[in-house]
Chains A and B, each alone.
Chain A
Amino acid sequence: MSAQRLVEQFESLEKQDHAARLAMWMFLGSETLLFGALFAVYAYYRGMYPDEFVQALHHNSVALGTTNTVVLITSSFTVALGVHFIRENKARLTAGLFVVSTLFGAVFLVVKGIEYAHHIHENALPSGMYTFIDKPPAGVVLGYTLYWFMTALHGLHVIAGMIMLAVVAVLCLKGRYGAHRNVAVENVGLYWHLVDVVWIFLWPLFYLTD
């Protein structure tokens, strides 16, 4: 079976797997810069409007944000366990752990949705949603906008990660992966960890520093 898996342009499976892993790391590097641009914008405006940012961040509930952090870190743990077990050829266990991680992702999104609903209720909205009269002070709106945009972009990454985790879980159940064939499992794991790491930066910036 492993001979079939080797595509023609590679000499050995090790090289092929190494290539796939390297590509994932490169892609993650690129993703980091995607968020990096936004972190730069955040740093710039926070330096410009320190008090207004604090005022904007007051709307965020530390309890909900921290809950989400715990949820994501736990999901990263279950993903790491899944990657560990596929190396021991326990594909069903890996599938189970990935399903659990996907559900954690869903919990994260639900909590995020509750927070968003709350913000809409409190009229803490990104710019473009205000009429001229009810507009809060300038820096505050920037804080809201960055909060909405950065967490929403992160949310999209969570959804993408959940889809990948679910697909890999199904393929695990179908017996596609095992001790000697798991680079896709590993790569999805890496992607999920990136999603987690990004949140670990968003969490202090939007919840802990008011």
Chain B
Amino acid sequence: MSQATIDADSKPDPLGVGADHPDYLRADSGLRSWLLTKDHKRIALMFYVGVILFLGLGGTFALVLRTELLTPEQTFIDASTYNQMFTLHGITMVWLFMIPAIPTVFGNFVLPIMLGAKDLAFPRINLASFYVYVLSAIILLGAMLAGGADTGWTFYVPYSTTSPTAVTWMGIGIFVNGISSIMTSVNFIVTTHTMRAKGLSWHRMPLFVWASYATSIIILFATPVLGMSLVLLALDHAFGLSLFNPRYGGDPVLFQHLFWFYSHPAVYIMILPSFGVISEVVCSFSHNQPASYRAIAYSSLGIAFIGFFTWGHHMFVAGLSEFDAGVFGALSMFVAIFSAIKVFTWVATLRGGSISFATPMLYFLWFLFLFVFGGMTGVAVATQSLDVHWHDTYFVVAHFHFIMVGGTLTSFLAAAHYWFPKMFGRLYDERVGLLTSVAVFIGFVFTFLPQFLLGNGGMPRRYFTYPERYQWLNVLSTGGAWLLGAGLLLALGNLLIALKWGKRAGPNPWGSRSFEWITASPPSKHNFEETPEIERSAYDYTLSEEVARERAKAR
């Protein structure tokens, strides 16, 4: 199947730009050359290892949770361990996997190449961002060993300030993590502004760059607010700063406002890069230009903007006035309009295209289903009257796992397969890729679809035990979770095997027109010897391969 889409070798420049230099993996050797590298591609790979480890850790926490919920009463862990598990699962997945995953791995790797640049604007800051991420991971892991946390990933006061667990260090770890995100996003914004190749105007850029840009803007302006509120929380937990403590006149709800002012945009921090990946995948595998480039590009910015004014929908039952809640609800539904624009544009892109069903394309279909389903339930929970019923039930858990995790995970996997030949110069096994993709999807749906029913039936989230009538749905969900875990492991195994035994990939195995594919696979250390000259958009599928290469001239 993959053979059909591989470039014929008879084309001019069969090896891609920079093939006469050693590629970035072999340009230098030794541990030092990795740990002190300033090459964006190597830093991306170090991040890759990091986020996969934390996906594994967070996934393990999730499996412990789900296994515990197999039976209505205690199954194999006690109640306080259970509280720890769902908290640590949330913290690990949100801050150590989902937020950094796509920007730091694939953004770092392909964004400069897409712009025709040799590196990001500030390679040292990029490396520092990695080590700050590692530091935050060490602090968070240390906190997990030194008491963990049982507050839920949202750290709501007043409980979080009195919890006997290591809340202080969790807060500090997440603050440090935010510094790493901010460093990366400053780098992306400046790189996009200053390092575009000659002739690469904003409207010729790959859509992934637009998505990364919009994400970076959100990170830049939302992260400091979360950092501040978690510092206040940490100081409260450690020294009794009590800014949210009613004993000193404080208002616990204010913490929720500050927390969600960041954490709602954080949802878009997680999903916007996915939109970028999906836009690339759809165009490359349908060999067609996007039905509307501007619709996709600008709706990302629209989501980034509106996302700052929707946080109140997390607080419908926290004492917001009916009017405020109505406004927040309406603004939240606005996001659905932008999302719908994207979904329809992606689907319309398929029309008239020449579609090849490789693994990334299959992940696009899963993404579409999960995102639309999660998005529609999002509109439902943004409705006050319905939210009062569903608030704090499994319905909400299912909703945000569908949209955030479903969206991020499927597009992370799509990106992992799509850019695999570019990153490592090898092709993965397409058949195994397709099968693991199916396993991941079925596992995912079986995990979370029953949770919608559980929530609607009234099962609250974060409960250790439940009445027996909920058991069959919980068993389904747990079975799905194990299948999902197995699917992920197999997908990882497939890619790891391909690292060594995969067939050699040409520079452009998918026949894409995006600019990262004009370099050799894997790219040389400097990507390009001189800045390329770009005379076409990243989606000019009307041109033949030779002409397209001629109009994106590079050495």
- Rounded to whole angstroms, the CA-CA distance of A149 and B228 in the bound complex is 11
Q: Is B111 an interface residue (CB 8 A)?
A: no
Which of A11, A41, A139, A146 has the most B CB atoms < 10 Å from its CB? Answer: A41
B279 CB within 8 Å of chain A: no
Given the complex of chains A and B, what is the CA–CA distance between A34 and B235 in angstroms?
A: 16
Interface SS, A side = helix
The answer on a CB contact under 8 Å between B119 and A36 is no
A74: Cβ under 8 A from any B Cβ: no
Q: Which residues of B contact A26 (CB under 8 A)?
A: 186, 189-190, 220
What 0/1 readout, one digit per residue, does chain A (144-160) give for beta carbons within 8 Å of chain B? 01100100000000000
Residue pair B221, A29 in contact (C-beta under 8 Å): yes
| Contact of B241 with A38 in the complex, beta carbons under 8 Å | no
CB of A122 within 8 A of chain B? no
Does A126 reach chain B (CB closer than 8 Å)? yes
Most chain B CB atoms below 10 A, which of A126, A145, A146: A145
Chain A minimum-CB-distance residue to B242: A127
Of the candidates B120, B195, B227, B242, the one whose C-beta lies within 8 Å of that of A34 is: B227
Q: Does B323 contact A (CB under 8 A)?
A: no
Nearest A residue to B193, CB-CB = A22
Tell whether, in the assembled complex, residue A146 and residue B117 are in contact, meaning their CB atoms are under 8 Å apart: no
A7-36 interface mask toward B, CB cutoff 8 Å, 1 = contact, 0 = none? 011110001001100110011011101101
* A138 interface residue per 8 A CB criterion: yes
Contact A128 B240 (CB under 8 A): yes
Known: A22-B194, A26-B190, A127-B241. A34 touches B123 (CB 8 A): no
- Complex Cα distance, B227 from A15, in Å, reads 32
Contact between chains at B189 and A49 (CB < 8 Å): no
Q: Which of B10-18, B247-255, B297-305, B365-373 faces chain A? A: B247-255
A52 at interface by CB-CB < 8 Å: yes
C-alpha gap A145/B241 in the complex (Å): 7
Which residues of chain A are within 8 angstroms of B122 by Cβ–Cβ distance? 19, 23
Find out whether the CB atom of A127 lies under 8 angstroms from the CB atom of B240. Answer: yes
A165 in contact (CB, < 8 A): no
Other-chain contact of B121, A9, A36, A138 (Cβ < 8 Å): A9
> Which of B187, B193, B228 meets A37, CB within 8 Å?
B228
**Interface of B: prevailing SS:** helix
A37 and B241 in contact (CB under 8 A), knowing A8-B118, A30-B220, A139-B249?
A: no
Within 8 A of A (CB), among B357-416: none
Q: How large is the interface on B (under 10, 10 to 19, 20 to 34, 35 or more residues)?
A: 35 or more
- Cβ 8 A contact of B119, one of A8, A45, A48: A8
**Nearest opposing residue in chain B for A144, CB measure:** B248
Cα distance A40–B251 when bound, in Å?
13
Nearest B residue to A24 via CB reads B186
Of the residues A18, A29, A36, A126, contact of B241 by C-beta under 8 Å = A126
Q: Does B83 contact A (CB under 8 A)?
A: no
Q: Please measure, in the bound complex, the distance between the C-alpha atom of A52 and the C-alpha atom of B165, giving whole angstroms.
A: 34
**Is B267's beta carbon under 8 Å from chain A?**
no
Indicate if B225 sits at the interface (CB-CB under 8 A). Answer: yes
Q: Per a CB cutoff under 8 Å, which of A15, A30, A145 touches B182?
A: A30
Given A30-B223, A33-B225, A36-B225, A10 contacting B195 (CB threshold 8 A):
yes
> In this assembly, does B531 line the interface, its C-beta being within 8 Å of a C-beta of chain A?
yes
B224 at the interface (CB under 8 A from A): yes
A133 CA to B458 CA in the complex, in Å?
A: 45
A23 touches B190 (CB 8 A): yes
B245 close to A (CB within 8 Å):
yes
Q: Which of A11, A41, A145 contacts B248 (CB 8 A)?
A: A145
**Please, how many angstroms separate the alpha-carbon atoms of A135 and B191 in the complex?**
53
Contact A27 B186 (CB under 8 A): yes
Contact A22 B249 (CB under 8 A): no
Complex-state Cα separation, A41 to B250, whole angstroms: 10
Q: Say which residue of B112, B190, B254 sits within 8 Å of A41 (CB atoms).
A: B254
If A9-B195, A26-B220, A128-B240 touch, whether A141 touches B249 (CB-CB below 8 Å) is yes
- B123 adjacent to A9 (CB under 8 Å): yes
Bound CA span A49–B193, Å: 45
Q: Which residues of A contact B186 (CB under 8 A)?
A: 23, 26-27, 30
A142 within 8 A of B: yes
Contact B243 A142 (CB under 8 A): yes
Q: Judging by beta carbons under 8 Å apart, are B249 and A142 in contact?
A: yes
- Interface bits B184-222 vs A (CB < 8 Å: 1, else 0): 001101110111000000000000000000000000111
B514: chain A residues within 8 A (beta carbon): none
Q: What's the nearest-Cβ distance from chain A to residue B329, in Å?
A: 22
Q: Which B residues form the contact surface with A (CB < 8 A)?
A: 112, 117-123, 182, 186-187, 189-191, 193-195, 220-225, 227-229, 232, 235-236, 239-243, 245, 247-251, 254, 258, 261, 526, 531
Ranked nearest first, the 10 interchain pairs of A and B with the lowest CB-CB distance are A138-B249, A128-B240, A34-B224, A37-B228, A127-B242, A9-B119, A9-B118, A33-B224, A19-B194, A37-B225
5 contacts between A and B (CB under 8 A): A9-B119, A19-B195, A37-B261, A127-B240, A135-B248
